[in-house]
Each structure stands twice: as structure tokens, then as C-alpha cells.
Structure 1
Amino acid sequence: MAGTTDFVTNQSIGTFAGATTTVWVVGNTVRLAVRRDWPLFPLATGLGVAFVLAGTAHQLHTPLDYLLAVLNGCLLFLTATGVQQATLAEVKSSEGSRRQGKGRVSWWAPWIPTRGAQPGESAPTPPASAAAAPAAQASTTAPTRTPSES
């Protein structure tokens, strides 16, 4: 059976997809290992990958080279964050939304919680009756005129 036995190689990590996958996998692994839901882990991984790749290519000579390595690290972090969020959205749509326990760190939890949500849970959604209440209240308090008042 002919095939590759090396899934991750020096050459594959040097590609954008390989570096992004590295940030995504290492960021999630560290989060799970230390049981902290903190976006600094994948950010540090992205910056580390960018500096290691630039350093091994002997491209860190001027301040602009270091700035480009920081920019590339941020790009890797944001791309891996997008992968994490997109993967999470796919899981939620196929399994249904469920609340995670407070403090639990899950592989499928977003790195950056949405506004109003605790780490590891999705944003709270207002009940449908709460959104409809102001409109219903406005319609019941509006004065009505009869044809004789015109």
C-alpha cells in the first residue's frame, strides 16, 4: 500500500494551511490540558509559529521583518479563530445547542465568547415573548378614534 506516513512535515507547516492547522490544534490542546478558556494560548501559538518560520528562513534582519512576523502571527491566530468558530457553528447546527457547565473547557467551545456569554457557552438569546412585548404594549396603549370623533 503506497501512501504517506508523515501527516505533518516541516514543509507542510511552512504553508499557510499547515501553519493555521498547527495554531488551531496546538491552541485547543493547550486549552484542554490546562483547563483554561483563554484566547492568549492560540495567539501565542500563532506568534510563535510565525517567528519560528521567519527565523528558520533567515528573514529576521530589520525591524520591519519583525513587524511582518507579528502581522503573520496575528493573521494565523485570526484564521485559526475563524476555523474554530466555523467548526463550532457546524457542530451546533448538527447536534443542537446545549449549555456547557461553567468553567468547562471543550474542544468545540469558541475561543472568544460572544457578548454576554460565559466562556464555553453561546450567547443568551432573548425569549420570543420579550421581543414581542414592546410591540404588543404599544398597540394596546395607542388611542383609538371612533368615526364620530372625526
Structure 2
Amino acid sequence: MKVVRKGGFLISRIHQISGRIFSKKLKEYNIEINPGQGRILFALWEQDGISIRDLAKRTSLGKSTLSAMLKRMRNDGYLKIEHPVGNERKKLVYVLERSKEIEAGYQQISAEMNALYYKGFKNAEIDEFEAYLERLFTNLRKYSEEK
């Protein structure tokens, strides 16, 4: 009998329900961004002033999707986009004060989500699980870069 693997299906379902819970928590904290915008801010909070290319890599967002989101976030006062001195082709993205004001709440939501994800897990199980996820991500990233 053939074994049917359902890892991709489960990941998709986890992504869906996780997104709904995360969006609900954002509303509870009165944070007016969507999870995709949060991913962008999270990357910028880790390192401010990075190029759009690096930001796309860190967030796994396509360039056109990222560009549209950055434009909206710039218009909403969350970030600014500037050319470095002497390089009109490159664009660097920086967070503004409005982004910094929601960082603590966003970090709290992330901690709550992690507690929810790993409820009942031992540290060794979390480490092993995350190592498997890293391998999955690497496999998919390599494949997407080849195509």
C-alpha cells in the first residue's frame, strides 16, 4: 500500500489558520497592518536600511508584491525609501517612528504565537522540528531559484 504524505497540505492549513489568528491578534492590539506588512517590518527591525533586494530575500516576497506593499506602507507613514548617496539605482528601506511605536506590540504577538505553536513541545522537539522546516525551506528556495 502506498503511503500518502501530507506535509505540504498540513503546512498550507497551518499557514491559513495561523494567518487568521495573527490578524485577529493584530486587531486586538490595535496594530493596523496585515501579516505581510508585519513580515516586512520584522525584517527591518532586525536590520534597518536594507536594500529592496535584500528585503525581498528576507521576507520571501516577490518583487512586484513587495513593491506594492512598500508603496502602501510608505504612504501610511511606516517607512521611507531612499537612494544612498551616489547610487541612484539602489533603494534602501528605513522604518519611521510609526513603525517603532508598534514594534513592542508586534513582538508580543509573535511571542504569543510561538507559545501557541509550541504548546506541549519540549525544547529538543522544537529544535528538531525547526531544523526540518529549515531543510524544507532550503529545498523549496533552491527549486524556485532554478526556475
TM-score (norm 2): 0.25
- Report which of the two structures shows the higher radius of gyration computed on alpha carbons: 1
TM-score (norm 1): 0.25
More strand by share: 2
